[in-house]
Amino acid sequence: MRYLTAGESHGPKLVGILEGVPAGAKIDKELIDQALQERQKGPGRGGRMKIEKDQVVILSGIRGGVTTGAPIALEILNRDWTNWEKVMAWGSDADLESRKVTTPRPGHADLTGHLKYRTEVRNVLERASARETAMRVAVGNVALQILTALGVEIRGQVLGVGKIQLQMEDSPEHWERVDASEWKVGDAQSEEALYAQLKEAQIKGESLGGILQVQVDHLPPGLGSYVQWDRKLDGRLAQAVLSVQAMKGVSFGMGFAAGEHFGSEVHDPIGYDDGRGYYRFSNNAGGIEGGMTNGEPIVLQAVMKPIPTLYSPLQTVNMESKEIMEASVERSDVCAVPAALIVLRHVVGWEILQAVLEKFPSDTWEELHKAWRDYFQYVSEQ
């Protein structure tokens, strides 16, 4: 199973092609649209979110709400295209000078992309933009819907924004608070402090990053593999997470704190119950051992850097005159941490489904569902 995306931030549309999705799986377009709209929400989002009203257009591979086994083609229109049509036109009539960028932003792909491809910075930032994640959410939601039908649940919460660290729990009441929160946090008392910090950043022309957590429940042991480096599931999840714009680190379970403890304080003792099979008394490993799921929930954390576009710009160099100047300012968010959480849930969902389809027969939904049930029965009896 694989996918490709194409499109620029201010181009006419984003497109995606998915290949290898089982035939016979039910896909609800409204659920994809809901995920796209959720990605646009959150405190600190910029003016672009007031323009776009993202909805997916399904072009192929789904008929009557059911996958056919053929490649699935999706598109998302950019409503802001009407303001950029002359600038971003593909033909010789394109206005290449009116919004030319000559002052690359520190922390962005601007300068390095220009040096690598020998192209104008506008061409770099248009593709490097996090606008591309809208299509990754649409693609990932197809995977999430199939996983949900198998009984898998993928949830996420924000663990910190800027200097404010938040309470972490795993209870139904906590997750209800997360779902109801604009910040995607389970500590309602901290939201006032989060809004105050956001206001401070807005006044100073700053931006904010944060720490996010994604949790995957109800997986069997044995997804992924230890036999080759590129088949290890934690390595593949880490690559998927770090491929999302602004992500700078990823950890699993206890994460980096594991390096501060004795082994007896880190590794998870194993137990056994009739009817349940093997289980762990704790989950410091974050659900993955030896590159494979171990039957406990996958728990991963990611750190998101502050967005590179600052309304009080940092120093840079004018690429034409080589003078020291302030970096360019593209319309941007002050904080996109809650929105990034939506993206992470979906890129994680894609990788999990890919691991599922590698292990089980999956030309059709019926084959996959039966093999999934049979395997759960098998591991519970060992």
Residues at the binding site for NADP(+) are: 39, 45
Kind and range of the H or E run holding 76: strand 72-77
**How many whole angstroms separate alpha carbon 158 and alpha carbon 170?**
13
Query: Residues at the annotated binding site for FMN?
Result: 127-129, 245-246, 290, 305-309, 331
Query: How is residue 278 written in tokens?
Result: 């093997």
* Nearest of 80, 99, 47 to residue 334 by alpha carbon: 47
Q: Which residues of 74-97 are buried (b: 16+ CB within 10 A; e: fewer)?
A: bbbebebeeebeebbeeeeeeeee
Which residue matches tokens 């929400």?
41
Query: Residues at the annotated binding site?
Result: 39, 45, 127-129, 245-246, 290, 305-309, 331
Total residues belonging to the chain = 382
Contact predicate 67/24, CB 8 Å: yes
List CB contacts of 147: < 8 A, sequence separation 6 or more: 154, 349, 352, 353, 356
Contact predicate 223/356, CB 8 Å: yes
3-state secondary structure of 15: strand
**How many whole angstroms separate alpha carbon 221 and alpha carbon 295?**
4
Contact predicate 233/223, CB 8 Å: yes
* Nearest of 16, 40, 27, 4 to residue 142 by alpha carbon: 27
Through-space distance between the first and last CA atoms of the chain, rounded to whole angstroms: 30
